[in-house]
Amino acid sequence: MSIAENIARVRQQIDRAARRVTRNPDQITLMAVTKTVPPERIREAYAAGIRWFGENRVPEFAAKVDAIDRSDARWHMIGHLQSNKARRAVDLFDAVDSVDSLPLARKLNLRAAERQKKMPVLIEINIAQEASKSGLGPDSSAFEDLLTAAPELASLDFQGLMTVPPYSENPENSRPYFRKMHELFDAIRHRRLASVAMNVLSMGMSHDFEVALEEGATLVRLGTAIFGERPPVRSNR
């Protein structure tokens, strides 16, 4: 299957999943995740209409960014970001969807201010509180502290939440986590916190995005379903 065919297929799947729960498919964002994907295949996805892209690692994106025509595409950092790469991330990316600590948020804010940029961000939640994953615990004081500090972080634009639930072959196993994320998202929105908007709920990957959409995701992040299987990873950083 070509990349264009894969994209057409996932758009149909998104459409059907949205309609099952009477949501408007036009309000759902499809992000293509391009880790390990070379620029020529990224260009194919762009030609097939993709405008939202996600990358996991700053050095990998830095190495291929010059071969990519940015034009009207949006590039989001979606992997764990070390504070010492905050400046590079602010320079390279249009948004950081994986803000997982207040110190990182402060660093990004400082670097964005230096560049006179307002950086859109999502807060990453470790919804199952897995030791192996980054992200803030949904009930943690660190999460609360970050929400409270948002008004001081004037160069960041807090737009919502992101999560990666525990992997399971069966996408139904992700459903309780997606549901919990949606509840958290709604609860925070209802608090109407200063400088914290809750418009984006980024959850769902190739194997479980239909369930994520049924449970309220506004943005799904698809790699394998668009570009095919990735080579095995050597390291997760």
Ligand X SMILES: *Cc1c(COP(=O)(O)O)cnc(C)c1O
Query: Using CB under 6 A as the criterion, which residues of the chain lie in contact with ligand X when the complex forms?
Result: 33, 35, 56, 78-79, 164, 205-207, 221-225
Which three-class secondary structure string do you get for the chain?
Answer: CCHHHHHHHHHHHHHHHHHHCCCCHHHCEEEEECCCCCHHHHHHHHHCCCCEEEECCHHHHHHHHHHCCCCCCEEEECCCCCHHHHHHHHHHCCEEEEECCHHHHHHHHHHHHHCCCCEEEEEEECCCCCCCCCCECCCCHHHHHHHHHHHHCCCEEEEEEEECCCCCCCHHHHHHHHHHHHHHHHHHHHHCCCCEEEEEEECCCCCCHHHHHHCCCCEEEECHHHHCCCCCCCCCC
Taking the least distance from each CB to ligand X, the nearer of 155 and 181 is 181
Residue 43 in tokens: 């260009």
Q: Least distance to ligand X from the beta carbon of 87, Å? A: 22
Taking the least distance from each CB to ligand X, the nearer of 155 and 171 is 171
Amino acid identity for residue 232 in this structure: P
Residue in the shown chain whose Cβ atom is closest to ligand X: 223
Q: Least distance to ligand X from the beta carbon of 209, Å? A: 8
Q: Least distance to ligand X from the beta carbon of 205, Å? A: 4
CA 129 and chain centroid, separation:
18
Q: Which of 36, 35, 40 is nearest to 3 (CA)?
A: 40
Taking the least distance from each CB to ligand X, the nearer of 151 and 228 is 228
Q: Least distance to ligand X from the beta carbon of 185, Å? A: 17
Taking the least distance from each CB to ligand X, the nearer of 39 and 148 is 39
Q: Least distance to ligand X from the beta carbon of 18, Å? A: 18
Taking the least distance from each CB to ligand X, the nearer of 216 and 223 is 223
Q: Least distance to ligand X from the beta carbon of 224, Å? A: 3
Amino acid identity for residue 214 in this structure: E
Q: Least distance to ligand X from the beta carbon of 154, Å? A: 27
Taking the least distance from each CB to ligand X, the nearer of 10 and 196 is 10
First-to-final CA distance of the chain: 30
Residue linked to tokens 């080579």: 231
Taking the least distance from each CB to ligand X, the nearer of 12 and 224 is 224
